[in-house]
Amino acid sequence: MDLNNTAQMKEYDPKNMLNQVYSLPELIEVLLSRDFTIPSHIKTDKFEVSYVEKPNSIIICGMGGSAVSGDYVKVIFPLQIPVTVIRNYNLPKFVGKDTLVCLVSYSGNTEETLSCLLLALEKGCPVVGISSGGYITRFFEENSLPHFEIPGGFQPRAAFPLIFLALVKIFQSFDMISLQGTAIDELLYNLRDIRDQCRPDVNLPENSAKNTAMNLFQKIPVIWAPYGCVANRIKCQFNENSKMLAISEELPELNHNHIVGWEGYEKNDYPFLVLAIRFPTEHQYVRLRFEISKRIVSPKCELIEVHGKGVHLLSQLLSVTYLFDFISIYLAMLNHKDPSTVSSIDYLKRELEERKQTQSKVIEALQRLS
């Protein structure tokens, strides 16, 4: 596979995920200009929710590519109130009428997220939906509940920045955060800069995303980052886009467990490659920990450093995330895999539905509330 041959690249990316990723900066601009308002009160025959008071906690429910945006919002916009990301069927016990529950599902049909919606309504929580269609869109529209519609036609994971900004807009509409114009300008500038450097018609060796993908070919990526959400997102992109396993670790935590694991390996036992994701905002002691950790691991394994760009945390985290969207797609092509397909996820969803009608049962229960 030749990453300088655009015809060959298209063959391995028939649904054109590269183009989806390419289009993001402009879509981000459109989404940022959108108004989003929250109603004060919704009352139907079956449930009643109030949006008047400021919430005293926030729950973000979602799975996979839809859930990661919740992790990023928590880090980039720290709030005075607790924010919890739930990747499961149930809500925590503390959830009540003062808890804002955001239901995030790109497809709008993920059963774990639908199950949380049902429980949230039963508890009288103010709910907000984010989806591009499916049952969530239908339910929120039918019941006049606040819903942020994301553009369709993407793989959920490719739409990550759009889902992230939808959450930001929702938090803004509750006056919980403010988004500075300079931070947005910096973000858009850096995303476009990365795109210009990594676009498919920029050849090796100039294209840094293609270079990193070549370095990672037939390796096992071990991702270290001082923000766990970034390490996890990159791992998930390698899993879902590139169809390969990867390890994600956060600093300083990895210094208390993962680092000891390396004692069991000699040089070249396994084809690991450490990706150290660095940020100007990392804690000074974390900086030192990176240096010492590198010294421990470098006799056994190759290590590449990649840096988040910008002054604002928003740009630092999203720019490096965007770079790895490109890298993971190029790596999929090198692996002769289509970056868009997720056959195992589709199989699991089908099997669950066939064996226990898991999704249909949740939808039936929601229909009774509708």
Measured from the CB of residue 313, what is the shortest distance to ligand F6R in angstroms? 24
Tokens of 170: 């929702």
Peptide bond into 146 cis (omega under 30): no
Measured from the CB of residue 82, what is the shortest distance to ligand F6R in angstroms? 23
Nearer to ligand F6R by Cβ, of 148 and 272: the residue is: 148
Nearer to ligand F6R by Cβ, of 113 and 328: the residue is: 113
Nearer to ligand F6R by Cβ, of 106 and 279: the residue is: 106
Interface pattern 197-226 for ligand F6R (x via CB under 6 A): ------------------------------
By the rule CB under 6 A, 66 interacts with ligand F6R: yes
Q: Which of 99, 110, 232, 359 binds ligand F6R (CB under 6 A)?
A: 110
Measured from the CB of residue 255, what is the shortest distance to ligand F6R in angstroms? 29
Query: Which residues, 6+ apart, have CB-to-CB distance to 78 below 8 Å?
Result: none
CB-CB contact of 267 with 239 (8 Å)? no
Which residue has the closest beta carbon to ligand F6R?
Answer: 64
Binding region for ligand F6R (CB under 6 A) out of 57-65, 246-254, 257-265, 292-300: 57-65
DSSP codes of every residue in 17-75: HHHHHHTHHHHHHHHHT------SEEE-SS-EEE--SPPSEEEEE--HHHHHHHHHHHH
Which stretch of DSSP H or E encloses residue 184? Answer: helix 181-198
SS3 324: helix
Question: What is the number of alpha carbons within 13 Å of residue 266 lying toward its C-beta?
Answer: 0
Residue with tokens 């390796």: 219
Binding region for ligand F6R (CB under 6 A) out of 59-67, 139-147, 250-258, 358-366: 59-67
What letter would DSSP give residue 225? E
By the rule CB under 6 A, 105 interacts with ligand F6R: yes
Q: Which of 122, 345, 346, 352 binds ligand F6R (CB under 6 A)?
A: 345
By the rule CB under 6 A, 64 interacts with ligand F6R: yes
What letter would DSSP give residue 203? P
* Subset of 235-274 contacting ligand F6R (CB under 6 A): 240
- Count of residues in contact with ligand F6R, rule CB under 6 A: 15
Nearer to ligand F6R by Cβ, of 190 and 248: the residue is: 248
Nearest in space to 224 (alpha carbons), one of 300, 310, 291? 291
Tokens of 76: 């980039």
Binding region for ligand F6R (CB under 6 A) out of 30-38, 101-109, 313-321, 354-362: 101-109
By the rule CB under 6 A, 65 interacts with ligand F6R: yes
Please state, in angstroms and rounded to a whole number, the distance separating the CA atoms of residues 152 and 130: 12
Please state, in angstroms and rounded to a whole number, the distance separating the CA atoms of residues 310 and 328: 22
Residues that bind ligand F6R (CB under 6 A): 63-66, 105-107, 110, 113, 155-157, 240, 342, 345
